[in-house]
Amino acid sequence: MSDLHIHIISFDIPFPANYGGVIDVFYKAKALTDSGVKVHMHCFQYGREHYPIMKDTFHEVKYYKRDISKKHLFKSIPYIVSTRSSDKLIENLLKDDYPILMEGLHTSLILEDNRFKTRRKLVRAHNIEHEYYQNLGKVENDIFKKYYFYNESVKLKRYEKVLEKADSILAISESDRKYFNNEFSRVEHIPAFHPFKEVKSKLGKGNYALYHGNLSVAENENAVIYLIDNVFVGSDIPLKIAGLNPNKSLKSRIENYPNMELIANPNNDMLQDLIENAHVNISITAQKTGLKLKLLNNLYNGRFALVNDKMLSGSSLDKLCEVANNHISLNRRLNILFNKEFTQANIEERKKGLAKVYCNGKNVNKLINLLK
């Protein structure tokens, strides 16, 4: 396989792999590298630094400045696409005839370019983007941002037909595969790539529940407020909330309750420690989009995982989680789980279930076959 090369166009610099989308990008590229494929990584950059690990891991790494100026807001193509245009990138891609994997609709501009007509072109669909942006609009309070999200959603829906020009669309979840299958041909389900190699959940009991996520994202902040106001208020179960950049009002809300604690901006080791030692990791969402990689982290490294239906959307992980869809059933499940030990049988069931769908090795072989 030494002669197999691939260009990957990433919407962001994928290291550190510390949020949903880039986790999939980095570990997919790493799995390809580990399988002997020579990865030519092309990254749009806007605010993230360069780390030597990128050059050490991949065959070649190139960076292109993302032009985030406001003029792109007035174009007919979506802002997330139009800001990722680069003549230098095109020049580099045209130097050979290797297959090209575009990460997200964000990086799919070259599908419109006739010079790539005969190239093998794959698009990783991280989300159904127009639905994702519409949902962001629903939960946004700032009127200008709200307008931007709704406007972008309309543009994304219109632009999506460009995917007809891809040789394969790689859907990240089973529900996304069904959606794309109705719209396009040549759709494959390739689950999210991730850093976890084995189930490391601890036996026995922890003494708190944990919610973690990027707290500067409205969707996650809303989830925390819902848990505080509807599930943990008046409960004697301790709740720890960990995440990036919580705002002042969330901080002061949490301070009011003796059974709740906020851990702002934990580093990776601290976060993993919190996940491993919690008795229950709670993940709820109002959006059923993509796969939430934090759920995989909870299942590989934590004890019980308590989720709502939308968190599971098309993930095939239903049997490994405790599911509750309103505050009454969340409360009830929590109380039941805090009276239970996490056992070896739970671990064995998890190993079996995760190996079936989320084995990087199996999924990378599927991807390599699509490249050929």
- The architecture in CATH of the region 5-190 reads 3-Layer(aba) Sandwich (3.40)
Residue 291 is predicted with a pLDDT of 62
- Of 17 and 60, the one with more pLDDT: 60
Predicted confidence (pLDDT) per residue in 156-174, tens digit? 999 999 999 999 999 999 9
Interval 353-360 mean pLDDT = 93
C-beta separation of 301 from 279 below 8 A: no
Residues 6 or more apart in contact with residue 142 via CB below 8 angstroms? none
Give residue 1's pLDDT band: very low, low, confident or very high (50, 70, 90): very low
The set of long-range contacts for 12-16, using a CB threshold of 8 Å and a minimum separation of 24, is 12/43, 12/44, 12/45, 12/46, 12/48, 13/43, 13/44, 13/45, 13/48, 13/49, 13/50, 13/54, 13/63, 14/41, 14/43, 14/54, 15/51, 15/53, 15/54, 16/51, 16/268
Predicted confidence (pLDDT) per residue in 262-316, tens digit? 999 999 899 999 999 999 999 999 877 656 788 999 999 999 999 999 999 878 8
The fraction of the chain above a pLDDT of 70, given in percent, is 99
Mean pLDDT of the chain: 95
Interval 216-237 mean pLDDT = 93
Predicted confidence (pLDDT) per residue in 42-90, tens digit? 999 999 999 999 999 999 999 999 999 999 999 999 999 999 999 999 9
- Asked if residue 247 has pLDDT above 50, the reply is yes
Q: Which fold has domain 209-356?
A: Rossmann fold (3.40.50)
Q: Spell out the domain ranges in the chain.
A: 5-190, 209-356
